[in-house]
Amino acid sequence: MNRRAVTALTGVAAAAACGVAALLGFGVVGGPTPAEEVARTSVPAVSAATVTRIAVAGDTGTGTGSAIEATVQAMVNQARQHAYDGLVLLGDLIYPEGDADQAAVRITDVFAPITDRGARLVPVLGNHDYVSGEQSAILNEVGRERTWYVDQVGIVRIVVLDTEQVDDPAQTAWLRETLASPTDAVWTIVAMHKPAYSAGVHGSDEEIQQQWVPLFEQYDVALVLAGHDHDYQRSKPIGGVTYVVSGARPHSAQPDVRTSPKSAPRPSTTSTSSPRTIS
């Protein structure tokens, strides 16, 4: 499948006191263009109407009154001229046990400076959100009904997956059907909590690699976003797909990076706690 010429697939990692947020922009110009031609063609200018801006953060569940507010302020500063169209939260929405009664102070209140300006909230469940058994109630509080779903923000189709249920064949069947379905979105990206590939402490999830990665590659998913590891990482393209980890590290100012030879980072993955540009 040919992709359209890319005017922007860039993200500035806004490093704050508590962590890192990936700020993404997607744009297109012209008609279908072979990937090899895109790679050697300079990027032309585009109008604002063809650009979608999405803020992304993971593992943010400490809420108001915590260091996560610095990440939100960094997002606000980045959006002074152009507001975000979407806000993707990559799981662990409510620490430590997923208490649904805390949804306001851990999710909606702390991110109100972004959503009040029109950003569509796209939440993902993480493992901590399952501890209490109130994961469905958490989603209800933020206006969602299912733990996996698809949404569209501007020119971007966002496929949200539940990494606590990777072994559910219904989810994988739904993923295949969704990715194969026609869409007027220019980009398709995936948002989930546990990463397929990571150089962090939690590391790569082999079950996700087996069940879902072949579908990402088959159906031209451009970008897969995940959290879980409390750092920022961006892979080189793996099977044509770029993998980003954006964990906000609310509990620690130090990046979690594996150091033992047995679990050494993949050569194609970079991790950092400093501002980076996704290119």
Chain segment 256-277, per-residue pLDDT in tens: 444 332 333 343 444 333 322 2
Chain segment 91-129, per-residue pLDDT in tens: 999 999 999 999 999 999 999 999 999 999 999 999 999
What does the alpha-carbon distance between residue 267 and residue 193 come to, in Å, rounded to a whole number? 22
- Higher pLDDT pick, 59 / 183: 183
Closest CA to 119 of 26, 55, 69: 55
3-41+50-260: CATH homologous superfamily? Metallo-dependent phosphatases (3.60.21.10)
pLDDT at 143 over 80: yes
Q: Which residues contact 150 (CB under 8 A, 6 or more apart)?
A: 157, 158, 159, 160, 178
